[in-house]
Amino acid sequence: MKVLVIGGGGREHAIAWKLSQSRYVDKIYCAPGNAGIADIAECIDIGTSNFDALVDFVKYEWVDLTIVGPEEPLSKGIVDAFEKDGRRILGPSKAGAQLESSKVFAKEFMKKYRIPSAEYKVFTSYIHAEDYIRMKGAPIVIKADGLAAGKGVFVAETVEEAIDALRIIMKEKAFGDAGKRVVVEEHLQGEEASFMVFTDGKTIVPMASSQDHKRVFDEDKGLNTGGMGAYSPAPVITRELESIAIDRIMKPVIKGLKAEGINYKGILYAGLMIKDNTPYVLEFNCRLGDPETQPVLFRLNADLLEISLAIADEKLSGVDVQWLDHAAVCVVVASKGYPEKYEKGKVISGLADAGKMDGVVIFHSGTAFNGNEIVTNGGRVLGVTALGEDIKTARDRAYKAIEKIHFEGMHYRKDIADKALRRL
């Protein structure tokens, strides 16, 4: 079978890598891909939002299944465009993707269907939002309504920080139209975790739990990023908590969407805050997380193509999804300056040596070819991912692999998975 992967980051590299292990996959394409993905797939120079060109490519090449990695094409309706043409694709419709593309939609949906989340208010007026923040005090959370590449959420420890965030979103328009509305939200205390499931709109199959590290610096300091590392499993998600999350969050979401006339098929990701053994939803994503996908798919002991086809064909109940008992840790190596301004084109050395290490895979997030050399081409450059019998072993392997890699200005957190180790 032929498969097309949409996207060009570390998540898409992990998806292509896992698909390449399927005995049913004959050919993998990726649009647009990156230097690492090019080792296992044919990279196609088509933008992720050029739906007409993507549909034409799928028709011309007789591609059997398309898997969408990033949130933007989902929010713009890529699934609707493909299904209108009778093409099989993994992901929710534009209507379903509103759970991620609009924080306001998600909060109002959760309120309507009694899904546990933080108290909130929505504002279109800067002045009214500022008055509300001063009245509520800090800590408090400010969120841009629309998509902002994982950077539109500000956890403010002081009123001044909150008003700064409000100014960045609403006055400076750092996220464009995504900041026309803001959600001002209660700050929940507890421990965060990422909980993802496969669903075909009827059956819900939980994935291995994971935990992301959003802040750019150690000890969760600095600006929010798309993610600086992740590990799986997350000890905070016990079997009991997983059951609670499915019953109180995932099932009501799928049922609620159906009541709204939306048949949700694909990946559903809930960013959770665990407080007193109770999960609260911080946000929804409508696709695999990045970098959570890297360690989670490393642990998947099943055929990703088989799972994906079953979701698209609404036959997920017939698939046995198993996970390795091992742990996996991903450490993101980023460009200097990320998540703000950074330079591209820095030559990366040591990738071959690091990739030869036992239990290590180097997933490329932002790389490109510069003649015969691989160079940096994004803020997040690599996701160095390792498997081990426990989190400490996997973590140590990942950091030893990073020691072999170099490019000018490379930056990475030194404390990925420390939270998990403290709990064990």
Q: Which two tokens stand for residue 355?
A: 């990739």
Question: Which one, of 203, 209, 320, lies nearest residue 255 by Cα?
Answer: 203
Sequence spans of domains, the chain: 2-91, 125-180, 191-318, 327-423
Contacts of 219 (CB under 8 A, 6+ apart): 415
**How far is Cα 94 from Cα 49, in angstroms, rounded to an integer?**
13
Q: Which residue has the tokens 């450490």?
A: 331
Sign of CA dihedral 230, 235, 241, 246: positive
259 phi-psi bin (left φ>0, alpha ψ -120 to 50, beta other): alpha
- Bond before 279 cis per omega within 30 degrees: no
Q: Which helix (H) or strand (E) holds 100?
A: helix 98-101
**How far is Cα 105 from Cα 225, in angstroms, rounded to an integer?**
23
Query: Could you report the per-residue pLDDT of 69-79, keeping only the tens digit for each?
Result: 999 999 999 99
**How far is Cα 377 from Cα 259, in angstroms, rounded to an integer?**
43
Q: Please state the φ and ψ torsions of residue 3, each to the nearest 5 degrees.
A: -130, 140
| Contact (CB, 8 A) for 305 and 26 | no
Three-class secondary structure of residue 72 per DSSP: helix
pTM listed for this prediction? 0.94
350 phi-psi bin (left φ>0, alpha ψ -120 to 50, beta other): left
Alpha-carbon distance values, 279 to 64, 97, 190, 275, 285 (Å): 38, 22, 10, 6, 16
- CATH value of 2-91 in 1.10.1040.10, 3.40.50.20, 3.40.50.720, 3.40.50.300: 3.40.50.20
Residue type, 101: S
Q: Terminal CA-to-CA distance of the chain, rounded, Å?
A: 43
Within the chain, what is the greatest distance between any pair of CA atoms?
A: 60
Q: Which residue has the tokens 């609707």?
A: 80
The angle that helices 10-19 and 304-312 make with each other, rounded to 10 degrees, is: 100
Q: Could you confirm whether domain 125-180 is CATH 3.40.50.300?
A: no
Alpha-carbon distance values, 216 to 178, 263, 367, 407, 413 (Å): 22, 36, 19, 18, 7
Residues of the chain with pLDDT under 50: none
DSSP string, 254-278: HHHHHHTT----EEEEEEEEEETTE
**How far is Cα 2 from Cα 20, in angstroms, rounded to an integer?**
11
**How far is Cα 112 from Cα 254, in angstroms, rounded to an integer?**
13
**How far is Cα 330 from Cα 395, in angstroms, rounded to an integer?**
8
- For the domain made up of 191-318, the CATH class stated in words is alpha beta
| Contact (CB, 8 A) for 208 and 233 | yes
Query: Could you report the per-residue pLDDT of 160-179, keeping only the tens digit for each?
Result: 999 999 999 999 999 999 89
**How far is Cα 187 from Cα 248, in angstroms, rounded to an integer?**
21
Q: Which helix (H) or strand (E) holds 107?
A: helix 103-112
pLDDT of residue 424: 66
Environment class of 231 (CB within 10 Å of its CB; exposed 0-12, middle 13-18, buried 19+): buried
**How far is Cα 72 from Cα 290, in angstroms, rounded to an integer?**
14
In this structure, which topology does domain 327-423 adopt according to CATH? Glycinamide Ribonucleotide Synthetase; Chain A, domain 4 (3.90.600)
**How far is Cα 190 from Cα 151, in angstroms, rounded to an integer?**
21
Three-class secondary structure of residue 360 per DSSP: strand
Sign of CA dihedral 168, 182, 118, 253: negative
Contacts of 239 (CB under 8 A, 6+ apart): none
pLDDT of residue 420: 86
